[in-house]
């Protein structure tokens, strides 16, 4: 056999090997939930892929047989050509040349490509792959049967466990808003998505900042404590010494029910505070509070100063959204502006505003609309100060020396009506 014919045959069988090895890793890496959904919708290609996914023993037997046939044939053809050139060095020459070529071009490169592009390549190549499954059927059925019985006998419990395992990425795909599934509505998807985010959300993102805290001095009397508890409606109050940064404990207002409403000090009723850093993850804190039977923690900075508090309710709201009790006043953070646009609170969360108005305010090292404006202007703005963000213009409507109270959001084209209220992310 001449050199051109040899190279053509070897190249064809190496490509065939790459086809089988790539399809093998591709079927493992493909998005199974997406394929299942498309198959249920009647897509013929996805139905063929789903058929192979439901019989992995037969499929892997097909790729194994095909890979071995391609490797053996390409090696035999190239070795025969090398022996025609030199009988003494032909075997060594063939081994040195063909082995790295088969490994690199027939195994490594195809697997890298197919793993990265599985969702695209497998549907494109499913027809020839199904054809090879039929061609090798008599042989693969024997191997698949032996493999299935042997594996079930040796690893029965592990096999059942593996079948029930679902990756995190697959679950995230299921709860994505664009994934239509009859058994999950939008609210349920959002709740599951927030559960996944608990391990990435820090306490600083959901705490009540110090400037919004209802707190009581350690020198206060029981009468003052009763008044503050009635005014705030909170069952637990942080207790500070001299200044708010120096939080020393927690006052549970339920302890005051049996106490006289007089000028006695609150000191005997102060409980120790539980201090945490602002970068603690929400899921870790929720677990710790449960173990310690606590309902509140004080968030302290690197200098030991209190920068906020967080309660179990705050943590649960990261999963189920805002929880309103009988003391919470209904919030209407968005009002229609007569001159065009909307008026929002400076403390309104960017994510909630984006969802309600169907706009895309940028996010960063801030959470509120006021924080966004301050970040762009690099100062505490005055009423009338403006920030332009593409087609949007944010105008400070009301502000104090320390913060922004209300903001006007407007753009050249009229904003659509606010979306129906949903659970915040």
- pLDDT computed for residue 97 by the predictor: 85
CATH number of the domain where residue 260 is located:
3.10.580.10
Do 103 and 245 lie in a common domain? no
CATH number of the domain where residue 372 is located:
3.30.465.10
* Structural domain includes residue 80: yes
Do 17 and 77 lie in a common domain? yes
Total count of domains within the chain: 4
Window from 127-141, 160-174, 260-274, 314-328 with minimum mean pLDDT: 160-174
Do 239 and 374 lie in a common domain? no
- pLDDT computed for residue 164 by the predictor: 45
Q: Can you tell me the distance from the alpha carbon of 373 to that of 312, in angstroms, rounded to the nearest whole number?
A: 31
Do 391 and 315 lie in a common domain? no
pLDDT digits (tens, 9 = 90+) for 44-83: 888 888 888 887 777 788 888 888 899 999 888 888 888 8
Do 181 and 252 lie in a common domain? no
Do 16 and 146 lie in a common domain? yes
Do 172 and 211 lie in a common domain? no
Q: Can you tell me the distance from the alpha carbon of 147 to that of 151, in angstroms, rounded to the nearest whole number?
A: 6
Do 177 and 224 lie in a common domain? no
Angle 363-367-370 from CA coordinates, rounded to 5°:
100
Q: Which residue has the higher pLDDT, 230 or 329?
A: 230
Q: Which position has the token pair 């967080």?
A: 310
- pLDDT computed for residue 357 by the predictor: 85
Phi-psi region of 358 (alpha: psi -120 to 50; beta: other; left: phi over 0): left
The separation between the first and the last C-alpha atoms of the chain, rounded to the nearest angstrom, is: 68
Do 77 and 145 lie in a common domain? yes
pLDDT digits (tens, 9 = 90+) for 382-420: 999 999 988 889 999 998 888 899 999 987 665 555 555
Do 145 and 182 lie in a common domain? no
The two structure tokens encoding residue 165: 């395992």
Do 157 and 213 lie in a common domain? no
Q: Are the beta carbons of 415 and 401 closer than 8 angstroms?
A: no
* Structural domain includes residue 423: no
DSSP conformation class of 95:
H
Domain boundary pick from 197, 214, 249: 197
Q: Can you tell me the distance from the alpha carbon of 84 to that of 34, in angstroms, rounded to the nearest whole number?
A: 52
* Structural domain includes residue 402: yes
* Structural domain includes residue 326: no
With cut-offs at 50, 70 and 90, classify the pLDDT of residue 354. Answer: confident
With cut-offs at 50, 70 and 90, classify the pLDDT of residue 296. Answer: very high
* Structural domain includes residue 18: yes
Do 138 and 234 lie in a common domain? no
| Residues comprising the chain, all counted | 425
pTM: 0.52
* Structural domain includes residue 283: yes
Bridging pattern class, strands 275-276 and 296-300: parallel
**Domain of 365?**
334-411
Burial 302-321 (b: 16+ CB within 10 A, else e): eeeebbbbbbeebbebbbeb
* Structural domain includes residue 418: no
Q: Which position has the token pair 């594996």?
A: 151
Q: Are the beta carbons of 423 and 190 closer than 8 angstroms?
A: yes
pLDDT digits (tens, 9 = 90+) for 156-206: 544 444 444 455 565 666 555 555 544 555 666 677 777 777 778 889 988
Nearest Cα to Cα of residue 364 among 387, 382, 334, 391: 387
């Amino acid at each position: 056999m001449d050199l051109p014919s040899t190279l053509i045959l070897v190249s064809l069988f190496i490509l065939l090997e790459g086809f089988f090895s790539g399809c093998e890793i591709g079927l493992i890496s493909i998005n199974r939930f997406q394929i299942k959904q498309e198959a249920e919708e009647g897509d013929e290609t996805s139905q063929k892929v789903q058929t192979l996914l439901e019989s992995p023993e037969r499929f892997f037997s097909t790729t194994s047989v095909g890979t071995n046939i391609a490797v053996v044939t390409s090696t035999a053809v190239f070795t025969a050509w090398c022996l025609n050139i030199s009988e003494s060095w032909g075997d060594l020459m063939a081994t040195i040349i063909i082995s790295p070529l088969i490994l690199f071009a027939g195994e490594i490169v195809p697997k890298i490509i197919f793993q990265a592009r599985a969702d695209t390549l497998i549907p494109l190549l499913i027809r020839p792959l199904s054809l090879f499954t039929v061609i090798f059927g008599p042989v693969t059925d024997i191997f698949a049967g032996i493999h299935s019985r042997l594996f079930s006998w040796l690893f029965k419990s592990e096999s059942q466990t593996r079948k029930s395992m679902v990756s995190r990425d697959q679950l995230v795909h299921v709860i994505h808003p664009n994934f239509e599934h009859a058994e999950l509505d939008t609210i349920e998807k959002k709740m599951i998505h927030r559960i996944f985010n608990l391990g990435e959300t820090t306490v600083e993102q959901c705490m009540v900042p110090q400037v919004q805290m209802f707190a009581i001095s350690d020198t206060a009397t029981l009468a003052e404590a009763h008044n503050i508890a009635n005014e705030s409606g909170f069952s637990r109050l942080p207790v500070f010494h001299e200044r708010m940064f120096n939080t020393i404990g927690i006052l549970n207002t339920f302890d005051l029910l049996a106490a006289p409403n007089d000028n006695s000090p609150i000191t005997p009723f102060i409980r120790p505070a539980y201090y945490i850093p602002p970068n603690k993850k929400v899921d870790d804190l929720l677990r710790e509070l449960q173990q310690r039977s606590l309902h509140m923690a004080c968030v302290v900075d690197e200098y030991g100063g209190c920068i906020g508090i967080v309660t179990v309710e705050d943590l649960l709201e990261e999963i189920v959204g805002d929880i309103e009790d009988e003391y919470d006043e209904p919030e209407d953070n968005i009002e229609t502006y007569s001159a065009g646009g909307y008026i929002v609170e400076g403390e309104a969360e960017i994510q909630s505003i984006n969802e309600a108005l169907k706009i895309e305010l940028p996010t960063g090292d801030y959470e509120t609309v006021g924080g966004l404006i301050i970040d762009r202007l690099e100062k505490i703005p005055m009423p009338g100060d403006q920030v332009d963000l593409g087609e949007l213009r944010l105008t400070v409507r009301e502000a104090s020396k320390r913060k922004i109270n209300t903001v006007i959001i407007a753009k050249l084209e009229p904003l659509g009506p606010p979306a129906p209220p949903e659970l915040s992310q």
